[in-house]
Chain A
């Protein structure tokens, strides 16, 4: 059992001796002088205690009595006379919980300082630990590479920024404080298609158009479902189709028009051009 510091507050009334600070959830005692019975009230943020006390004795408060950090008013009522004072309940020194905010949960690859992590450090009673505390952040990429940052938390908060990797996939973002850790997952997604190319083949009366496997500039496969736009222009008219990637390629059949020019694009990225002569 740990007893709180019993350093006395000099300015307090002689009938009640209060500790100036108490660790959140720690045991402590309050000594009173005089004789007879009295009632002791402790009122603070989210908590109020009432104890019948015998004046001249110490009143003992076990572990977990006061657990919300803050400024508490202590009142001793004995008959018609009262005595009062203040006690500060401070967060425990040992971190027990971390609230870790990692943003965004999804971002493109290769973004400098694109990932931000902010950690809030709490004790076992969810009081924010405001004393400077070392925090380590680690972003582990699917390729096995990792970025690490050591930051000191001030007023209970530590923040950092990391780069997204050049390789797509789910990265593990971890914050660690004094053996306590919290992990988030950040999805790093491929960028826009790069070097988009298609091939055209005759197919009955039409043309079968198909892209080569679509990748971004870092060589990552662009996700299925991404829209690829094929456009065939001929004699002042055109045919178009928005086609989603399936298994890395997009394909569609369009009518064949001799002399037509066929282009491929995805979003604002243009691909190659084919002149259909058959």
Chain B
């Protein structure tokens, strides 16, 4: 009984002590999320002013961030917020700023240029945006002039749309068992190639919908040992366009972490397909695609939405081929901006440095997701 009382007193005392320590010397993260002001430095240098702005953006303290700007008279707080989170629903809308880097570019006694690289976290992975900021001295403080990118205005117009749409009606539970169901789409793997990478084995290839109806597709691959026993089974998840219209081709990428190609005797491939309701629009033109060689190899280009519908998220899939036309890599990227009608949006997809020299040509496809129109 006595031991229990001693333990209770000890736990109570320890709790009080820890609360006192946490209150007097709070951690940085705790302070951020409690909205504590002590986190922010005084904006006595250009770098400190940009760091404060970055912290406020990370905390989504839009009012404080907007108030700190030197050029806030040029736009409203709403414009500032939308510049960061997107004027239309897009990946940016629900992204959170994970971290940022501040790099001074030029500085004088009353003016400086500072680069702010913001690392965002979204549901499909991280993305980075960069802004070069003018920072101006105002008395003993420095204020950031935010380079606002204004909302793209689409001229009022009527864009006729008469794209096809497919809907699927399956057999009902009351139907006789001999009644036909709708046939699953016929798909075919037209190319397949295993690659050994440092992180494991990757199976790359291309899948064709050779049917006349849209297909929801996936690819399952099983590595088999030289004796024929299965080593591992994995499916394509990202780096594939899961909805394929008739005669459309998608790359696929199946990753086997920690596998070794020399242990593999054969690979069993299973293309999977199902009927899906789909629309044949919108048409996205990929303009000025360019393969930029190593170092820093990338594929760059611009997406142009030729329909009247806003594309909220675009998934760009890049299939890279060697001189013989064999797939050597599949890369992808999501746009963090919505695609407005007839408004080019640039993209820049990184290619692994060691593969860049093998790449001779590329093919780009775009999978789109839309939830609304222009307003």
Contact = CB atoms under 8 A, between A and B. Distances in A.
A189 B285 CA distance: 29
A253 B304 CA distance: 11
Given A189-B212, A244-B281, A268-B208, A225 B287 contact: no
A266 B284 contact: no
B183 A104 contact: yes
B181 interface: yes
Given A105-B181, A223-B212, 9 more contacts: A101-B180, A103-B180, A192-B210, A192-B247, A225-B280, A226-B246, A238-B289, A244-B164, A255-B287
Contacts of B245: 225-227, 242, 244
A248 B176 CA distance: 37
A120 interface: yes
Interface in B147-185: 162-164, 166, 176-178, 180-183
A99 interface: yes
Which of B280, B291, B365: most chain A Cβ within 10 A?
Answer: B280
Interface in B186-204: 190
30 contacts: A99-B177, A99-B178, A103-B180, A104-B183, A105-B182, A106-B211, A192-B247, A223-B246, A224-B280, A225-B164, A225-B212, A225-B280, A237-B288, A239-B287, A239-B288, A240-B285, A241-B284, A241-B286, A242-B283, A242-B366, A244-B163, A244-B281, A246-B164, A246-B280, A253-B285, A255-B288, A267-B208, A267-B210, A268-B190, A268-B249
Nearest to B362: A238
B260 interface: no
B285 A252 contact: yes
Contacts of A99: 176-178
A250 to B, nearest CB: 9
Interface in A211-269: 222-228, 236-244, 246, 252-255, 266-269
Interface of B: 162-164, 166, 176-178, 180-183, 190, 208-214, 245-249, 280-281, 283-291, 301, 306, 363-366
A190 interface: yes
A240 B180 contact: no
A197 interface: no
Contacts of A103: 180
Contact of A240 (B163, B183, B208, B286): B286
A182 interface: yes
Contacts of B211: 106, 189
Nearest to A236: B290
Contact of A227 (B178, B248, B290): B248
A172 interface: no
A28 interface: no
A182 B175 CA distance: 14
A100 B177 CA distance: 9
Nearest to B182: A105
Contact of B289 (A192, A237, A268): A237
B306 to A, nearest CB: 7
A253 B212 CA distance: 25
B287 A254 contact: yes
B16 to A, nearest CB: 66
A224 B253 CA distance: 29
Nearest to B290: A237
B290 A246 contact: no
Contacts of B182: 105-106
Please list the 4 inter-chain residue pairs (A to B) with the smallest Cβ-Cβ separation, ordered nearest first.
A99-B178, A244-B280, A267-B247, A227-B248
